[in-house]
Amino acid sequence: MEWEIVPRDEQETLINIDYCEKIINVYTSRKQVGERLKKKIGEPTDKYVSNNKIYAVNYKRNLFDKDVAKFLSKMLLIGAFRDDNGVTNELVEENENNED
């Protein structure tokens, strides 16, 4: 399924650890993070869809699951940011899609 273009100022990744229930939730509305999570961890627990496009995903795991440590990888959640005078690949991709 294709991802919806989410403006940069609305993109977020949230990590919630419930110590009582021993559960970790990782929510992201950032396409790049969602794709890296899917590649590294597998299908999300929940996909949030609008107009047949994904705008966010959520992973829910027990703290004792073997893949929980992967959720705390900086490269998986943040990636590599580059400062190209304010122009990013996302903006270029977003502009190219809007020209269609």
Give per-residue pLDDT as tens, 45-60. Answer: 999 999 999 999 999 9
pLDDT at position 77 is 86
* Parent domain of 43: 8-98
Closest C-alpha to 32, from 91, 97, 96, 98: 91
Q: Which residues contact 55 (CB under 8 A, 6 or more apart)?
A: 3, 4, 6, 29, 48, 49
Assess whether pLDDT exceeds 60 at residue 14.
yes
Phi-psi region of 54 (alpha: psi -120 to 50; beta: other; left: phi over 0): beta
- Domain total of the chain: 1
Q: Is residue 20 part of a domain?
A: yes
Q: Is residue 73 part of a domain?
A: yes
Whether the predicted model's global pTM rises above the 0.85 cut:
no
